Amino acid sequence: MNAPKPALPPVLQLEKVTRRRAGRTAVRDLDLSLQRGQVLGLLGVNGAGKSTTLAMIAGALRPDGGSILLQGQDFLEQPELARQAIGWLPEAAPLWPELTVCEHLEAHGRLRGMPRADLTRARDAILERLELKDISRRLAGVLSQGQRQRLGLACALLHRPALLVLDEPANALDPVQVVALRSLLRELAANGTAVILSTHQLAEVTAVCDRVAILHEGTLRYDAPLPADQHAALEKTFFDIAMAGRAQAA
């Protein structure tokens, strides 16, 4: 008889993560975990701590307390783990304006330590997948907002990360591109990639996420699988939390 396989550790596990910013606590004692193939929607009003949380998960910002485990390993101790395992699209897709689309992908691949042959293959595939091939020689500085966003996404996906961290990925995309993005995210999840996305669009969450977490004033107020009746129930939960917070503040 075969011995049962040991359970795989979650792709991402946050334990008591805290971060102070500009004299206030932006994120407080955040516990969160994400399994392979899960798509988590991170919701919250402006200033709730979503972008800070994502920047910490991506390794761009160090938490003041707590730990972040990536595939069971503490990546605060080994920041190089982020190089292979995480793809990050920050809000507004920052780019180097003097480099072309192709050069961006090559630079990101090299920064992630990809071998040359893999990089060329992955670059061509992602250019094709995100419909960037026609503008591959164009400078990033002259791209439209939607093209910038797609290039940022391509850079995040290039090295086939186990965890994809997206901050407002549908920003500036037209409706056709939004549908394509949803389909891409579902495809990645089906292939085992864990995705965490922050958005203000509840429709975005109901369309692609199988779990939702709501942050408010830096604390996790809600974390559950997406309700069965989806949009209406999520909208009600979100507004209950947001309005309760405002009433308390008033």
Please report, as ranges, the residues that interact with another protein according to CB under 8 A.
Answer: 19, 21, 52, 55, 58-62, 79-83, 86, 88, 90, 92, 94-99, 103, 107-108, 110-113
**Measured from the CB atom, is 68 or 241 closer to another protein?**
68
- Kindly state the smallest distance separating residue 113's Cβ from another protein, in Å: 6
**Measured from the CB atom, is 158 or 220 closer to another protein?**
158
The Cα–Cα gap between 33 and 48 comes to 19
Taken as a whole, the chain contains a residue count of 250
The Cα–Cα gap between 19 and 56 comes to 9
**Measured from the CB atom, is 110 or 121 closer to another protein?**
110
- Kindly state the smallest distance separating residue 54's Cβ from another protein, in Å: 10
**Measured from the CB atom, is 44 or 59 closer to another protein?**
59
The Cα–Cα gap between 38 and 108 comes to 25
Given a contact cutoff of 8 angstroms between Cβ atoms, the answer to whether 158 and 109 are in contact is yes
Q: What is the DSSP string of 81-114?
A: HHHHHEEEE-TT----TTSBHHHHHHHHHHHTT-
- Kindly state the smallest distance separating residue 23's Cβ from another protein, in Å: 11
The Cα–Cα gap between 218 and 123 comes to 37
Residue 11: both structure tokens together? 């792709």
**Measured from the CB atom, is 139 or 203 closer to another protein?**
139
Question: What is the DSSP code (8-state) at residue 210?
Answer: S
- Kindly state the smallest distance separating residue 97's Cβ from another protein, in Å: 7
- Kindly state the smallest distance separating residue 38's Cβ from another protein, in Å: 21
Which residue from 178, 185, 192 is spatially nearest to 41, judged by alpha carbons?
A: 185
- Kindly state the smallest distance separating residue 109's Cβ from another protein, in Å: 9
Per DSSP, the three-state class of 224 is strand
**Measured from the CB atom, is 132 or 205 closer to another protein?**
132
The Cα–Cα gap between 59 and 177 comes to 28
Residue 155's H or E segment, with its range, is helix 145-157
